[in-house]
């Protein structure tokens, strides 16, 4: 929830200032990492999709990227 709530709260300001959002995800969101944590992988995949959706919706006004640490 924190990524969504933070984006919702800050986007009006970021649009005015042409700011950027950087979300933190994980390589577990795109491939098997050897650890049996499907809930974690699903949550990080949701962060990736939210990042993509925001990037497309606010293209040209706000830069939106994700870091997939791992």
- Can 37 be counted among the known catalytic residues? no
Structure-token pair, residue 70: 């791992």
| Active-site entry in 35, 37, 40, 58 | 40
Would you name the residues annotated as active-site residues?
40
């Amino acid at each position: 929830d924190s990524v969504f709530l933070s984006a919702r709260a800050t986007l009006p300001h970021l649009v005015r200032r042409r700011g950027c959002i950087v979300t933190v995800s994980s390589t577990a969101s795109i491939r098997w990492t050897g650890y049996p944590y499907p809930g974690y992988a699903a949550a990080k995949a949701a962060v990736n999709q939210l990042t993509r959706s925001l990037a497309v919706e606010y293209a040209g006004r706000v830069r939106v990227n994700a870091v997939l640490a791992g």
